[in-house]
Structures are given as structure tokens and as C-alpha cells.
Amino acid sequence: MDQISPRIRTTLQDYALEGDPAGIARLGTVVAAGNKPWFADEFAQTLRAGLFTAQWWGTTLYDDDWTEAQADDLDEDLREIWGAVAPGRAYPLDAPGG
């Protein structure tokens, strides 16, 4: 994987703009209901590939130019999304081999 897929980008723009907790919770509900069954695995692959950069995240979801100084904010958003879409599963970058 060498780029973020259009469906990951679109889904994040639909549910996680500005790190919206309510939108992220709705995404978790959508995935739990069996819609977007591909999301958790593809999100994990994208995480492991290191494709979610602070610059991409800020520009795509916050309409702002983020730098590596916002890496903690990025990590917080990524972990919140993972917790919503894959409850009970280890965060991919914390898991062995992640």
C-alpha cells in the first residue's frame, strides 16, 4: 500500500472532520452494523504503512496546515477512530509487528 485509498479518505471526511467525537461514534456504529466491513482492516493497513501523516490529516480533515508538532493530536484522533471501529482489538501500531 503506497497511498490512502479514496474510500478511506471519503469515509474519514464523512465521519471524522475536525476530529468530531459524535461523527467518529457514528462511524463505529456503521461499522458494527456491518456497513463498511472493509474499514477496520483497511484503516489498520493504512496505519501500518505510515500513510496518515500530520500534513495529510490536517489538510484533509481540519482544513489546516499541520506539521509534525501536531503528531500527538493525530495520534489521539487515530486512536479514537480505532477504538470506535474495532473495540477490543489492539491498536495496530501498538500490536506486535505493528
pLDDT of 95 > 70? The answer is: no
pTM: predicted TM-score of the whole model, two decimal places: 0.91
29-73 pLDDT per residue, tens: 999 999 999 999 999 999 999 999 999 999 999 988 887 777 888
Give the residue-averaged pLDDT of 4-29: 97
Q: What angle do CA 69, 15, 10 make, to 5 degrees?
A: 85
What pLDDT is stored for residue 32 in this prediction?
97
Choose between 24 and 97: higher pLDDT: 24
**What is the distance between the alpha carbons of residues 74 and 9, in angstroms, rounded to a whole number?**
15
Does residue 61 contact residue 12 with C-beta atoms inside 8 Å? yes
